[in-house]
Amino acid sequence: MKVQIAQHDLRAPATGIPVRNGYGWMLVLVREARRPLGVIDVPLADRTAPITAAELREAIAVQLGISPDEQDVWTAEPPPPACDAGPPISVVVGTRDRPESLCRCLAALRRIEYDDYEVIVVDNASRSQATRKVVADTSFRYVREEREGLSWARNRGVSEARYGIVAFTDDDVEVDPGWLRGVADALSDPTVEAATGLVLAAELETYAQQLYEHYGGMSKGVAPREFVRDGMSPRDLLAMYEVGVGANMAFRRRVFNRIGGFDTALGPGTPSGGADDLDIFHRVLTAGMKLRYEPTALVWHHHRGDMRALRRQIHDNGRAFGVFLIKAWRSGAVEGREMLRFAVGQWWWSWLVTHVGRSLLKRHRLPLRLVLAELYGAHTAPWAYLATRQRDRRALRPSTGA
């Protein structure tokens, strides 16, 4: 049953939300201007009438604990004044052979409400001219990176960037108009060197997309948080999936001068299958730099729409996280005993094996074949680590620009 995605701003006049035909549920992001407050769910069944303002008020009160009186205060207040212009930001989008998805992504980037930003689209060795043609219809910059792998594309974007802050998103994302304002807010503190933000589902039209949300999705919640090595446990330094995701991250350019770029042996397009984002978050934090999770830096992600693609993604997640742990262990950033405790106790047993058991007992929302895909991917991590390092060493030919 399809799930409708909607938004409701408590600063806006109280109105209802139209219901689309054929949807069984509605998920509503509740906001106070740019600030996300939470997501509520509203059953629709065969309903066709709009969700009324009164129904929204009641659902917000019950599910988010925001009383009608509190909601009225926000509604009665004028919108917050426009902020001063933030620092210029370079936005990098890596892409390969997905022109339709890229077109949607770039349309959203054109709607950003921010004064000074540039967009660099890095074509990661696409096999046709479609990507170039999509970018040609915009004012954005196009460059081509021949070495396959998203990390190569992102590093190329950093080298092309003109500004001191570099933000990254993916071609299967639609950024919120206030995304870069959220990035600027996160980095307004000069001690913060990197930022991540909130990622919500852009649509939940298919069973596969809904299963991915049950699997965990990409959201890290609506509460801002700061991460810094002092005070973080060894477990915290390995659980980088709690920090953010690569579809929504930003760094001061000097970070790359200090710790290097994205590891080109990791990420989509390599045998590792991913973990380039986890790795760079880990390196930022173990280098003693501060990272902020800022939910006002909001983007909307289009999950894989079919079961085959979802199974491949979950398999790659298991493989990639295993590769990340092997690299972290070899780096010595976390003591070996603590690494073993996390890998065996928390990842292997508490996550992988437990999920298989729950699925066998029909107590898990994910089908067994998807849970086993992640387990199998984890088993292939040692091979993938060796293969991806060998492949990376062979990638010596220079990139060509456009």
Residue 336 has pLDDT above 80, yes or no: yes
Are 236 and 282 in the same domain? yes
Amino acid 397: pLDDT: 58
What distance in Å separates the CA atoms of residue 289 and residue 40, rounded to the nearest whole number?
Answer: 35
The answer as to whether 83 is a domain residue is no
Going by pLDDT thresholds of 50, 70 and 90, the confidence category of residue 77 is confident
Of 76, 106, 125, the position where a domain reaches its end is: 76
Report which of residues 77 and 282 the model is more confident about.
Answer: 282
The answer as to whether 159 is a domain residue is yes
CB 41 within 8 Å of CB 18: no
**Residues 104-119 as b or e (16 or more Cβ within 10 Å = b):** bbbebbeebebeebbb
For residues 248-273, give the mean pLDDT.
Answer: 97
Amino acid 85: pLDDT: 78
- What tokens appear for 302 in the block? 């289009």
Q: Give the least confident one: 16-25, 82-91, 116-125.
A: 82-91
Residue 278 has pLDDT above 70, yes or no: yes
Residue 67 has pLDDT above 70, yes or no: yes
Torsion of CA 341, 342, 344, 347, to 10 degrees: 160
Going by pLDDT thresholds of 50, 70 and 90, the confidence category of residue 82 is low
The answer as to whether 400 is a domain residue is no
Residue 342 has pLDDT above 50, yes or no: yes
The answer as to whether 402 is a domain residue is no
Going by pLDDT thresholds of 50, 70 and 90, the confidence category of residue 229 is very high
Amino acid 120: pLDDT: 98
Are 288 and 220 in the same domain? yes
Q: Which of 207, 169, 373 is nearest to 303 (CA)?
A: 207
The answer as to whether 72 is a domain residue is yes
Residue 400 has pLDDT above 60, yes or no: no
Are 196 and 341 in the same domain? no
Are 285 and 357 in the same domain? no
Are 168 and 111 in the same domain? yes
What is the percent of the chain with per-residue pLDDT over 90, rounded to a whole number?
82
Are 98 and 123 in the same domain? yes
Of 76, 104, 121, the position where a domain reaches its end is: 76
What distance in Å separates the CA atoms of residue 355 and residue 209, rounded to the nearest whole number?
Answer: 19
Amino acid 402: pLDDT: 44
For residues 167-171, give the mean pLDDT.
Answer: 98
Amino acid 156: pLDDT: 98
CB 16 within 8 Å of CB 53: yes
For residues 43-60, give the mean pLDDT.
Answer: 92
Number of domains in the chain: 3
The answer as to whether 164 is a domain residue is yes
For residues 67-84, give the mean pLDDT.
Answer: 78
Q: Which residue has the tokens 């660099």?
A: 120
Neighbours of 76 (CB within 10 A): 8
For residues 157-180, give the mean pLDDT.
Answer: 98
What distance in Å separates the CA atoms of residue 304 and residue 301, rounded to the nearest whole number?
Answer: 10
pLDDT digits 0-9 by tens, 128-155: 999 999 999 999 999 999 999 999 999 9
Its sign, for the CA torsion 136, 138, 142, 147, is negative
pLDDT digits 0-9 by tens, 6-26: 999 998 887 889 999 999 999
Q: For residue 155, what are the domain limits?
A: 89-307
pLDDT digits 0-9 by tens, 188-208: 999 999 999 999 999 999 999
The answer as to whether 84 is a domain residue is no
For residues 203-221, give the mean pLDDT.
Answer: 94
For residues 383-399, give the mean pLDDT.
Answer: 82
Of 41, 76, 111, the position where a domain reaches its end is: 76
Are 25 and 171 in the same domain? no
Going by pLDDT thresholds of 50, 70 and 90, the confidence category of residue 399 is very low
Are 111 and 256 in the same domain? yes
Are 165 and 226 in the same domain? yes
Q: What is the CATH number of the domain that holds 166?
A: 3.90.550.10
Mean residue pLDDT of the chain comes to 93
For residues 121-132, give the mean pLDDT.
Answer: 95
Going by pLDDT thresholds of 50, 70 and 90, the confidence category of residue 398 is low
pLDDT digits 0-9 by tens, 291-302: 999 999 999 999
CB 284 within 8 Å of CB 194: yes
Are 63 and 122 in the same domain? no
What distance in Å separates the CA atoms of residue 228 and residue 86, rounded to the nearest whole number?
Answer: 24
Are 252 and 150 in the same domain? yes
Are 279 and 339 in the same domain? no
